[in-house]
A = this chain, B = another copy of it.
Amino acid sequence: MIGIFDSGVGGMTVARAIEKNLPGRRLVYFGDLARTPYGSKSARTIRKYALENSEFLLQKGAEIIVIACNSAASVASGMLRDKLPVPVFEVVTPAVRQVVSMGSRGRIGIIGTRATIKSQIYEDKIKKLRPDFQVFGQPCPLLVPLVEEGWLNKRETKMIIRRYLHSLKLKNIDTLVLGCTHYPLLKKLIQSRIGRQIRVIDSSRAIAAELAVFLQKHPNLVKILSSAGENEYYVSDVTEAAQATAERIFGRRINLQLRQGKDNA
């Protein structure tokens, strides 16, 4: 079983991409809605939550952990690799590989939450592979609440995106990484604002593609099921807005199960 966690429902863009790429594997998802969002919290707090979420997924039978939250990937992936007995994947590295593997003039923009941008994880990972690249980070903290409200095509959302992307436009970037799993829902607006000629990389799709390759090489690591079965979607809180966002992402009804636990017992 592939275990995936996120601070809320944004990581379902990752779950959906994995589901499409790996139809024979079962998924168990956990969204920490009782403590969402992570992106404006401290690294210390995010690390604690990431460990608790992973332990829950292991209990549920996860044979592999996917950190589907850029904020958690940015500050907690090393710690999880040290502590967990299973392979740990995260959304940042595959996006970085895409950045450097495709033709780029080396002017890269990254948008994400405060926690992700402050961690400079994209910059560090890109520069390790391509020290000649220039990387420009821009925190966009209001985009997560706008997506969660379903304001995907409102004038205010467009204006806020324009404001956030303004400085990146001036930097003359050629590649823009959507460094937050909520942002694929705004991809069209972002693409049209930054310009058609800019390559926009979706970290959700990048991780799904990389996981498919990895599981082809290591076919026994995760049990292959004869029938796809029901994937399981757990959350630490249930709200109507979350339910609506989940269904917007999957395009079908999703049964969000409340995790009984210390955070919301």
Listed in ascending order, the chain A residues whose CB lies under 8 Å from chain B are: 33-35, 40-42, 44-45, 48, 114, 141-142, 145-146, 148-149, 151, 155-156, 159-160, 163, 236-239, 241, 262-265
Contacts and interface: CB of A to CB of B under 8 A. Distances in A.
Given A41-B33, A163-B156, A48 B264 contact: yes
Nearest to A157: B156
Nearest to A238: B42
A264 B44 contact: yes
A148 B238 CA distance: 24
Contact of A45 (B34, B41, B114): B34
Closest 8 A/B residue pairs (Cβ): A145-B145, A45-B237, A45-B264, A35-B35, A34-B45, A156-B159, A42-B237, A41-B237
A40 B142 contact: no
B265 A48 contact: yes
**Chain A's interface: helix, strand, loop or mixed, by majority?**
loop
Contact of A35 (B34, B148, B159, B239): B34
Given A33-B41, A262-B262, 6 more contacts: A40-B239, A42-B239, A44-B237, A48-B265, A155-B159, A156-B159
B148 A241 contact: no
B41 A239 contact: yes
A156 to B, nearest CB: 5
A8 to B, nearest CB: 10
A146 B142 CA distance: 7
